[in-house]
Amino acid sequence: MEEFVFYNGKKLRKGYTTGSCATAAATAAALYLVKDQQHEDVQIKLPNESMLTIPIASLELKADSCVAFVEKDGGDDADATDGMLIGVEISRNDTPEIKIDGGEGVGRVTEVGLQIPVGEAAINPVPRKMIAESVRKVIGPEQGALVKVFAPKGVEIAQQTMNSRLGIIGGISILGTSGIVTPMSEEGWKQAISVELEMKKQQGYKKIILCPGNYGEDFAVKELKLKAEQIVSMSNFVGYVLKEVQRLAFEEVLMVGHLGKLIKVSAGIFSTHSKDADARTEILIANLALLGMPVPQLQEIQACNTTEAAGEIIERYGYEGVYQVIADKIKQRSQDLLKYRKPETRIEVVIFSSQRGYLASTQPLAQVMEEWQ
């Protein structure tokens, strides 16, 4: 396995997934239990057939089982699970079957639409396959094993993940499709959003509410009285998520977001992180200039560090109509992004300010609240 990847001009170290951690721990525990072999590290086979060596943090042989721990190493793509211990306890099974379950700190699936059935431990199919094949190689075809994957700090760490949004309760997920963490965290984040969208679709939702983050979600639920279960956080990946919504054939989208975030979309900026583009002030000035705001007042806007501060000047001089212009442009730009693909997706927009609350929408607000209840 190549240990490094170059991304955005930086040399970044790869890591391994929670699924690979569980596979390595299961392998080490099986080797000790069945063959009385203690290993400081083990080799596991990845889905692409390459081999990966993972160190074992600890091994303990008990009366009827063996427990092994691996410390998760996310490389230079450290997430909430980086550095946590993933444990596996293996005991013999009375049948030749290898049964895999989750213990302390591994979540349980509570909603339909994921790859794992409701009630099962949140151990995804690829890690399950990796664990089963690795343990089978150690114990042979005739014996069976009971494999329990657990994470002592899983409940605590799960609060920093998207698990609760996906209906995974009680701990972390054991994840990984390749076994390797490649340091491009945005890609993993996007995949998690796609999983959530696919789950909503399988649950029967035809309309979806997209918010850039917590501010948007709070406004949608507390001020617009919209259903939290219909909301998906798109973070800064507006363009990606809109294309995913179209791919999954959602019929309608309502985008609810703070002016400071969605104003970028009005200018065709669909990756809204400040590292990619921060043209909020310039966009605001351009639209205000088209509405006739004099240059001295535009210069006041230019001196503002936030759209909240600019809002005071806009209100003082009576140019609140700019918000409707921006909301309409957000909708138009979003529709233009999707117009060359099918199926068609109807898009509506609501923008707000932290200090001033509701600013504008592409439909009358009462209609938005009625249609999206």
Domain ranges of the chain: 7-181, 187-371
Using pLDDT thresholds of 50, 70 and 90, give the confidence band for residue 5.
very low
Using pLDDT thresholds of 50, 70 and 90, give the confidence band for residue 77.
low
pLDDT digits (tens, 9 = 90+) for 338-347: 998 899 999 9
> CATH top-level class for 7-181?
alpha beta
Taking CB atoms within 8 Å and a gap of at least 24, the contacts of 293-297 are 293/317, 293/319
Taking CB atoms within 8 Å and a gap of at least 24, the contacts of 64-69 are 64/91, 64/92, 65/29, 65/33, 65/89, 65/90, 65/91, 66/29, 66/30, 66/32, 66/33, 66/90, 66/91, 67/29, 68/24, 68/25, 68/26, 68/28, 68/29, 68/32, 69/25
170 vs 344: CA distance, rounded Å: 38
138 vs 201: CA distance, rounded Å: 41
Mean pLDDT for all residues in the chain? 90
Average pLDDT (324-350) is 95
347 vs 47: CA distance, rounded Å: 39
Lowest-pLDDT range, 70-79, 255-264, 330-339?
70-79
146 vs 92: CA distance, rounded Å: 6
Say if pTM beats, i.e. exceeds, 0.85. no
Rg (CA), the chain: 25
Contacts of 68 (CB under 8 A, 6+ apart): 24, 25, 26, 28, 29, 32, 56, 58, 59, 60, 87, 88, 90
